[in-house]
Amino acid sequence: MRRYRREWWIGFWTLTRREIGRFLTLWRQTVFPPILSALLYVVIFGEALGSRIREIDGWPYTEYILPGLAMMGALTSAYQNASSSLFIAKHEQYIEDLLVAPLAYWEVVLAYTLGSIVRGVIVGALILGVGVLAADLPIAHPGATIAFLFVVTMLLSCAGLIMALWAESWDHVMLLLNFLITPLVFLGGVFYSIEMLPPFWYAVSLFNPVFYMINGLRWGILGVADASPAGSFLLSAALAGILFAWTVRLFKVGYKLKA
């Protein structure tokens, strides 16, 4: 039993370390661009709208949008990491080596997920770090901030893995991100409070799951929220758990993995 645990730890840690090292080696392509994009959004929207929208919920406009930008960078990075890594493994056919390794399916999924979580959290944390230095951004609830970043990046990591399993081409891999996640992000309150919306669009926003992710992180950073932070976390955590279980199930049945 002790030997089995040691072999499991070696295999699991090796796969997790490979996933983390994969994006760290290419940090100029994987970590730096989301941070640059966030800074551009701050400059462009801060200059264009900041002069007209002085404050939201008592916070200067630039500081108000930073948590949303951090969440946007974190979740897109997590999705891209998981989906690209698994799709390449399928395309290059070395995924078969993992399937015959002495690792349970949930352990393989967890290793892929942890690698993507680390990338997403690093990107989100660096964007917030820039905000702390440049805009004196506070961290009202550090524990909640970390918890929301962890849960949301786990959720998007699993979504990326599911899309990579289904995908037959790179266009398929990015389908969910380009046509569902990104629109939901921009309609999820990154650049505004949903309290500013007309009644119809306010009601529509309440059905947007990404709104609750952004809402939770904004509460963790600024201490203000448009919806219950606890409810936002429970929803995000429940979705993450469901997608993780679904991903493990797809690996177990060999969905588009086994001939």
- Burial class, 88, CB count within 10 angstroms (exposed 0-12 / middle 13-18 / buried 19+): middle
89 domain-assigned: yes
87 domain-assigned: yes
Residue with the larger pLDDT of the pair 163 and 5: 163
259 domain-assigned: no
Closest CA to 110 of 71, 154, 144: 154
How many domains is the chain built from? 1
The per-residue pLDDT for range 49-66, each reduced to its tens digit, is: 766 777 899 898 889 999
Residue with token string 């002790």 = 2
258 domain-assigned: no
pTM assigned to the model: 0.93
Residue with token string 């290419």 = 26
Closest CA to 211 of 72, 117, 49: 72
180 domain-assigned: yes
Residue 146: CB atoms within 10 A of its CB come to 15
User: At residue 113, does pLDDT exceed 50?
Assistant: yes
The domain of 19 spans 2-253
77 vs 64: CA distance, rounded Å: 21
- Give the chain's mean pLDDT: 91
- Buried b or exposed e, range 8-29, using 16+ CB within 10 angstroms: eeebbeebbeebbebbeeeeee
pLDDT at 5: 57
